[in-house]
Amino acid sequence: MNNFELNSSYFIVFKNQECIQSSLPNEVHYDQHHLVFQNKEPIEIQTVFLLDNDVDFSITYTFEQNTQVHIIETRILQNQASFHKIMNLKEQAIVHVFHENNSQHLENANVKEEVYLQRNAVCHSGYAELSDSSVHGEYLYYLDGENADAKVRMAILSKEKEKKYFKVLIQHNQPHTYGQMDNYGVVKDQGQLTIDGIGTITKGQHGSSSHQTNKIMVFDPDCIASANPYLFIDEFDVKASHAAGVGKMDEEHLYYLQSRGLTKKQAMQLITYGYLKPVIEVIDNEMLKEHFEKVLSKVGA
Amino acid sequence: MSTLMIKDLHVNVGEKEILKGIDLEIKTGEIHAIMGPNGNGKSTLLSAIMGHPKYEVTSGSITLNDQDVLSMSVDERSRVGLFLGMQYPQEIPGVTNSDFLKAAMNARLEKPISLFKFIRTLDKNIEELNMDENLAHRYLNEGFSGGEKKRNEILQMKLLKPQFALLDEIDSGLDVDALHVVSDAINSMRSDDFACVMVSHYERLFELVKPTHVHVLVNGKIVMSGGYELVEKIDQEGYEWIKELGIEMLEEEEKKPIILESCGKKESFKNE
């Protein structure tokens, strides 16, 4: 089942190891699992990955100096598939990526991303992990140049018997680097979710900031949820903060909405939508918003 | 004409009995004022009618035209025509006012309201209430001033058109101009098909929205009912004269603020 639609002028679609469809501008080249961006004007591109059972897929993106790219990425993975992506952002590259995981009914999928940012590079990523599947994901960001800036937002739903694990790392390897992650999850039924948020500032990286928030809202008594913030800091002159929490939906919020006539289910849906929605703000795109709303309706109550 | 009938209502919060037998009959077309010193059960009465889960009705009945209100869920109560304008409206991040208001209006319509009609109705009411034009896109009550929150309650009342509006200190946090805007809005709803129960400490609101019935609630019971003259008497003399009639009054317990930084141990030592 092809659970994606193409509506950008530029796109590239992979089925297992093959590129099956593409429309790329002149300054973007694809060759042997390597996508290189050299565009002088900002562009938006859609990338789609369809991986069958047991397929092990790797791809590298390189963003040359001063490129500006918005990417809308859809992943549809089958059982035991494994997806590995490396992104290299050269100096001053500005990249916004919205990832949606539309996998269905799969037992296990592994996703790993490594993102390397050089001087003044900016990467803002949004991950919508609302798939009907168990997932093990690792998203690792390395700030390798001064003033590099990484912001990561996640919206995760774990329901029925799904088991989801995510590790998000932002590692500061140069001074004056900025890292921020906001990971929000909702767990219902017998769903399980663990979020490990890790901020690392190595020695000598003065003037850096590392911030993180990890929050999980739990709907049912059989859910298992854990939000773990880690800060490893080996330098004095830095700013760092973390917040983590696992809790129920605020009863007073529900009461307020119900007192205006919304059923409990409608109220929960509205609150959940508001809670997870910031993830789509990474890229301004109407199609994304509509799609996200539709997918979220399965949160139900 | 509709009637909201409350008979011998007893309500507990936790182990403590707050309402100790309230009898009240409200018909559409009437405006009721409930007065009384702090901590004697006024807000509890309104919240119990709306069905707040914290308030446990231990005996008595509430009916709306013979329908049993107590067996209804909170949202059902809203849909049969009850509305509570809250003293402390919740702030809900991420939920925009327009999404919320549209959902609330649709909850009582068979066919969803058209986007065009919704925006037109909303804009008109926002203007009448002299509210922020950006309100629709802001998150529900988040970062609103006290006065803005109260006006947002009134906005919801106007959009949802309840038969029975319960307004809990709707005038607190309002400046003089806003008080006029809010009382004009309440007066504009007055009709044979609308009733209102207002809780307030200030004569000013009742001067602007003249009640047809006035009740004094003390220690969980209505100890006196009358007309507007009761408002005037309380405004001039306070509640002392009620004590002299031999009625026991609950003094509000001194509230000890618990500061976030203070540790749990210390608090428990103090109370020993």
φ/ψ of residue B254, rounded to 5: -65, 125
In a domain, A211, yes or no: yes
User: What was the ipTM of the complex prediction?
Assistant: 0.90
B182-185: long-range contacts (C-beta < 8 A, 24 or more apart)? B182/B129, B182/B150, B182/B151, B182/B154, B183/B208, B183/B209, B185/B128, B185/B129, B185/B154, B185/B157, B185/B158
Distance CA A193, CA A195 (A): 7
Would you say A77 and A107 are in contact if contact means Cβ atoms under 8 Å apart? no
Whether residue B181 is predicted with pLDDT greater than 90 in this model: the reply is yes
The confidence score (pLDDT) of residue A301 equals: 45
Determine phi and psi for B177, rounding to 5 degrees.
Answer: -65, -45
pLDDT digits (tens, 9 = 90+) for A227-266: 999 999 999 999 999 999 999 989 999 999 999 999 998 9
Q: Answer yes or no: is A267 within a domain.
A: no
Question: How many residue contacts between A and B have a Cβ separation below 8 Å?
Answer: 76
Among A217, A260, A263, A297, the residue to mutate for chain B (most B Cβ within 10 A): A260
Beta-carbon separation of B95 and A270 below 8 A? yes
Q: Closest by alpha carbon to A243, among A266, A221, A215?
A: A215
- Which residue has 């309380």 as its token pair? B234
Among chain A residues, CA nearest to B86 = A256
Question: What is the C-alpha separation between A195 and A180, in angstroms, rounded?
Answer: 15
Cα angle for residues A4, A9, A14 (degrees, 5° grid): 45
| CATH number for the domain that contains residue B186 | 3.40.50.300
Q: Compare CB distances from A252 to B90, B104, B107 and report the shortest one's residue.
A: B90
Which region among A215-224, B182-191, B238-247, B249-258 has the lowest average model confidence (pLDDT)?
B249-258
Find the CB nearest A256 among B89, B103, B108.
B89
Looking at the partner chain, which of B52, B96, B156 has a beta carbon nearest the beta carbon of A255? B52
Q: Give residue B252's pLDDT band: very low, low, confident or very high (50, 70, 90).
A: low
A274:B95 CB<8 A: yes
Residue A294 lies in a domain: no
> For the CA atoms of B187, B188, B194, B195, what is the dihedral angle to 10 degrees?
-10
What's the pLDDT score for residue B255? 56
More confident residue, A3 or B125: B125
Is residue A261 within 8 angstroms of chain B, CB to CB? yes
Domain range for A18: 10-247
Residues of A in contact with B74 (CB under 8 A): 255, 258-259
Position B271 confidence tier, pLDDT thresholds 50, 70, 90: very low
Distance between CA atoms of residues A7 and B58, nearest Å: 59
Task: Work out the minimum CA distance from B101 to partner chain A, whole angstroms.
Answer: 9
CA atoms within 13 A on the CB side of A155: 23
Closest by Cβ to B90, choosing from A256, A270, A277: A256
Optimal mutation site among B43, B95, B167, interface A, most CBs of chain A within 10 A:
B95
pLDDT value at B184 more than 70: yes
In chain B, whose CA is at the least distance from the CA of A265? B75
Would you say residue A206 lies in a domain? yes
Do A173 and A143 touch, CB atoms closer than 8 A? yes
Radius of gyration of chain B (CA): 20
Length of chain B: 272
pLDDT of residue B263: 44
Parts of chain A with a pLDDT under 70:
1-3, 105-106, 298-301
B242 located within any domain: yes
- pLDDT band for position B266 (cuts 50, 70, 90): very low
At B61-113, the pLDDT tens digits run: 999 999 999 999 999 999 999 999 999 999 998 899 999 999 999 999 999 99
Whether residue B78 and residue A277 make contact (CB cut-off 8 A), yes or no, is: no
Buried/exposed code over B12-36 (b: 16+ C-beta within 10 A; e: otherwise): bbeeeebbeebebebbbebbbbbbb
pLDDT band, very low/low/confident/very high, at B259 (cuts 50, 70, 90): low
Task: For residue B159, list chain A residues with Cβ-Cβ distance below 8 A.
Answer: none
The answer to whether residue A278 neighbours chain B at the CB level (below 8 Å) is yes
User: Does residue B188 fall inside a structural domain?
Assistant: yes
Q: Cβ of A259 and B139 within 8 Å?
A: no
Rank A67-71, A297-301, B172-176, B261-265 by mean pLDDT and report only the highest.
A67-71
The residue count of chain A comes to 301
Q: Please report which confidence band the pLDDT of residue B261 belongs to, taking 50, 70 and 90 as the band edges.
A: very low
Give me the pLDDT at residue B165, please: 97
CB contact under 8 A, A273 and B95: yes
How big, in percent rounded to 5, are the helix, strand and coil portions of chain B? Answer: 40, 25, 35
Q: Is residue B117 in a domain?
A: no
- Who has greater pLDDT, A92 or B259? A92
Q: B206: domain range?
A: 3-89+162-271
Please report whether residue A120 resides in a domain: yes
Is position B220 within any domain?
yes
A232 touches chain B (CB under 8 A): no
Contact A161, A193 (CB under 8 A): no
Whether residues B160 and A260 touch (CB distance < 8 A) is answered with: yes
Which of B90, B98, B109 is the best residue to mutate to test the A interface, defined by the most A CB atoms within 10 Å of its own CB?
B90
Q: Given CB atoms, is B110 within the 8 Å cutoff of chain A?
A: no
pLDDT of residue B239: 85
Neighbours of B198 (CB within 10 A): 26
Question: Would A76 be classed as within a structural domain?
Answer: yes
At B26, list the tokens: 């409200």
B214 part of a folded domain: yes
Contact B73 A273 (CB under 8 A): no
Sheet of B82-85: strand order equals: B82-85, B164-168, B195-199, B31-35, B213-218, B221-226
Residues of A within 8 A of B139 (CB-CB) are 274
CA distance A237 to chain B (A): 26
Residue B264 confidence (pLDDT) = 43
User: How far apart are the C-alpha atoms of B199 and B206, rounded to whole Å?
Assistant: 10
Q: What is the pLDDT of residue A299?
A: 66
- Which residues numbered 154-193 in A keep a CB inside 8 Å of some CB on B? none
Q: How far is B139 from chain A (nearest CA, A)?
A: 9
Number of domains in chain B: 1
> Taking CB atoms and an 8 Å limit, are A262 and B75 in contact across chains?
yes
For residue B92, the cross-strand partners are: B140
Mean pLDDT (chain B, rounded): 90
Q: Given this model, what pLDDT does residue B272 score?
A: 40
**What total number of domains does chain A contain?**
1
Q: Do B107 and A256 touch (CB under 8 A)?
A: no
For B118, the token pair is 């919704």
The model's confidence at residue B269, banded by pLDDT at 50, 70 and 90, is very low
Tell me the two tokens of residue A54. 């047991």
Q: Is residue B140 part of a domain?
A: no
For residue B100, the distance in angstroms to the closest alpha carbon of chain A comes to 8
Annotate B47-105 with DSSP letters as a single string: HHHHT-TTEEEEEEEEEETTEEGGGS-HHHHHHTTEEEE-SSPPPEEEEEHHHHHHHHH
Residue A1: inside a domain: no
Question: Is A277 part of a structural domain of the chain?
Answer: no
How many angstroms from the chain centroid is the CA of residue A78? 19
**B51 residue type, one letter:** G
Judge whether B125 lies within some domain.
Answer: no
Task: Determine the pLDDT at residue B267.
Answer: 44
Residue-wise DSSP of B199-236:
E-S-HHHHHHS--SEEEEEETTEEEEEESHHHHHHHHH
Inspect the interface and report whether the beta carbons of A258 and B160 lie closer than 8 Å. no
pLDDT tens for B45-60 read 999 999 999 999 999 9
